[in-house]
Amino acid sequence: MRRPMTSKERVLTALARQEPDRVPINYSANPGIDQRLKAALGLEAHDWQGLYDRLGVDFRGVGAPYTGPRLHAEKPARMVDPLWGWVTRYVEHDSGSYWDYCDFPLSTADEDTVARWPLPSPDDFDYTAVRPACQSHGAYAVHVGGAGLGCIMNTAGFLRGMEQVFVDLATDDPAGLLLVDRMLAVQLEKTRREIEAAQGAVDFVWMGEDLGTQRGPLISMETFQRHIKPRHRPFFELARAYDLPVVLHTCGSSSWTYDDYIELGLTAADTLQPEAFQMSPEYLKDRFGDRLAFHGCISTAGAVAYGTVDDVVADCRRTLAIMMPGGGYCFAPTHSLQDNSPTENVLAMYDIARTEGRY
C-alpha cells in the first residue's frame, strides 16, 4: 500500500508521469447535471466543496476577479459578456438548456473596428485575491487559467463566427489576426500577474485550443505552425519562467499537434475524446506515454450519456487499465458532463475512479 497523498501531491506526481497513490480525479458539468448530482448526494445547491469531496476531486482553479467597468452594453433577449462583448442566446432542448453563441458582432469588422473594440485591461483585476484563494485550497492542486486561456479559434469565433476565423487564418486577414493578438495579450499579462501574486502557491497553468473534429484536424499543419504555435509559445515561456507544468485542453482529433506542443514544453494533454481519430487511450498511451501525462478520456458522448451503469463501469475500468500503468493519468470527463447523462451513471463513474483507480 502506498502512503496516502494529498491532492496536490497526487496531481503533481501524475503530471510528472509517475504513479501516485490513486489516479487524480477532476470534474466538470453543465448546471443541470450538477444540480442533480448535488440533490442525489443530499447537498445544497451551492455546496461545491461538499460535491468535490464526495467525488474525490483533486483540482482547484484560482484567478483574479475583474473589478473594472462593464465594457459592453446588455441587449434584450441576449446575454452579453461584459468584458469581451460576445453574445449568447438561451436555447432549450430535450434534456436541458444552454447559452449558445450568436450575432457575432465582429463578423464583418475591419482592422480599425477591431482596434477600437473594447477589451479589458490587465490593470482592472484584483490580484490581491489570488494568494488567499491559493491558501484556502492548500491541500489541492491549484491552477491558473483554464480551457479558454490562450484559445485562438474558439475564442475569436465567439466574436467573428467560426467560418470567418478559418478564413482569417487561411488568408492572414489583418482584422482577424489583430483581434486574436489583442485578446491574447490581455490574457498573457493577466496570467503573469496572477502567477506572481500567488507567490509560489500555483501548481500548474491550464490553457486550451480546440484543434480537431471527430475525424481529423480543423486546420492544416502549415496553418497551425504559422498562426497557432507561435502565439502559444509565450504562454509556455511564461510557465517555464516560473517552473510550472502546462496542461492543454484539446478537443477533437488533436494528437497531430502533440509533437509540436511537446517541443514547446507541454506537460499534459486534456480532453482526449476516445471516439475521435487517433485519440483512443491505446493510441495515446503508446504514442506519447513516455512524454506526456493525460487528463480526460472518459467520454461524455459515450457510456456515461447513453449506456447503463454496467456499461459505465466497464468503460471506466477499461480506460483505467490502459492509462494507469506507469502513472501519468488523471481521470476526468472529456468535456463538461452533459444534461443527458443519467445521475446514476455519473455517480458510478466517480465510484470506479475512487475505488479502482488505486495503485
Please compute the mean of the pLDDT values over residues 211-237 and round it to a whole number. 98
| pLDDT for the residue numbered 96 | 86
The pLDDT tens digits of the residues spanning 91-147 come to: 998 888 899 999 999 999 999 999 999 999 999 999 999 999 999 999 999 999 999
Is pLDDT of 174 > 90? Answer: yes
Mean pLDDT, residues 195-200 taken together: 98
Question: Residue with C-alpha cell 458522448?
Answer: 301
Candidates 3.40.50.300, 3.30.70.1560, 3.20.20.80, 3.20.20.210; correct CATH number of 7-69+125-356? 3.20.20.210
Give mean pLDDT, residues 46-65: 98
Q: Following CA atoms 271, 272, 275, 276 in sequence, which dihedral angle do they give, to the nearest 10 degrees?
A: 100
Nine-digit cell at 82?
A: 461584459
Residues 356 and 320 sit within 8 Å (Cβ to Cβ): yes
pLDDT at 317 over 70: yes
Reported as a single tens digit per residue, the pLDDT across 245-277 is: 999 999 999 999 999 999 999 999 999 999 999
Angle at 100 between CA 332 and CA 36, to 5 degrees: 45
Q: Which residues pair with 246 in a beta bridge?
A: 205
Is pLDDT above 90 for 1? Answer: no
Domain ranges of the chain: 7-69+125-356
Look at residue 230 in the predicted model and tell me its pLDDT. Answer: 98
Global pTM value: 0.97
What's the mean per-residue pLDDT of the chain? 97
Q: Nine-digit cell at 145?
A: 487559467
